């Protein structure tokens, strides 16, 4: 795994994928999870073309978004007593959408790192619940206002809309 940061073939492959799919991959290598995912794909398949890699990327995003939605909906039920359903949309790569498409509540999931996907999923879920169900969730217990999802060095967190203090971690 350590070779991932030092392998010229791996780096060239990432740059080619990033250009062809319009996805930033090298900047996500700070995440051990992303490094492991990308290195494993490369080690097993070599410098596979973007058209072969894109379905793996869609599947990763879809799987992580589904896991996040399930955890977030359990939190919604715990906090509000309401049972709501939210699905994860997914489209395979196509000539018009080379990297495929994954979405939650109209929010496109573009991340690769689990924390980024968790934040994007939380944002999509919040917007959908507000628009469809007229439900503002979660609420800052101190200020009684809605929070928003944010990525920090520690991971995904709910942040108060009034003072921007961290209210709680977002977990999946």
CA dihedral 170, 109, 126, 106 (to 10 degrees): -170
The pLDDT tens digits of the residues spanning 59-112 come to 999 999 999 999 999 999 999 999 999 999 999 999 889 999 999 999 999 999
CA distance 68 to 115: 10
Q: Left if phi > 0, otherwise alpha if psi is -120 to 50, otherwise beta: which for 106?
A: left
* Percent of the chain clearing pLDDT 70 (strictly above): 97
- The reported pLDDT for the residue numbered 6 is 67
The model's confidence at residue 5, banded by pLDDT at 50, 70 and 90, is: low
- The reported pLDDT for the residue numbered 86 is 96
Task: Quote the mean pLDDT of the chain.
Answer: 93
Q: Tell me the two tokens of residue 63.
A: 């799987």
CA distance 105 to 129: 8
CA distance 158 to 170: 6
CA distance 23 to 25: 6
Residue with tokens 């994007």: 120
- The reported pLDDT for the residue numbered 154 is 87
pTM summary value: 0.92
């Amino acid at each position: 795994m350590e070779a991932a940061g030092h392998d010229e073939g791996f780096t060239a492959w990432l740059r080619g994928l990033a250009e062809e799919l319009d996805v930033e991959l090298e900047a996500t290598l700070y995440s051990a999870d992303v490094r492991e995912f990308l290195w494993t794909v490369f080690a097993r398949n070599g410098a596979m073309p973007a058209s072969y890699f894109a379905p793996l990327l869609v599947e990763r995003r879809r799987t992580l978004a589904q896991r996040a939605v399930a955890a977030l909906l359990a939190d919604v039920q715990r906090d509000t007593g309401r049972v709501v359903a939210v699905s994860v949309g997914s489209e395979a790569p196509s000539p018009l959408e080379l990297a495929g498409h994954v979405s939650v509540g109209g929010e496109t999931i573009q991340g690769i790192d689990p924390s980024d996907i968790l934040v994007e999923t939380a944002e999509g879920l919040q917007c959908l619940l507000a628009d469809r169900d007229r439900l503002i969730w979660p609420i800052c217990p101190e200020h009684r206002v809605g929070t928003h999802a944010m990525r920090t060095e520690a991971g995904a967190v709910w942040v108060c809309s009034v003072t921007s203090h961290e209210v709680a971690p977002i977990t999946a």
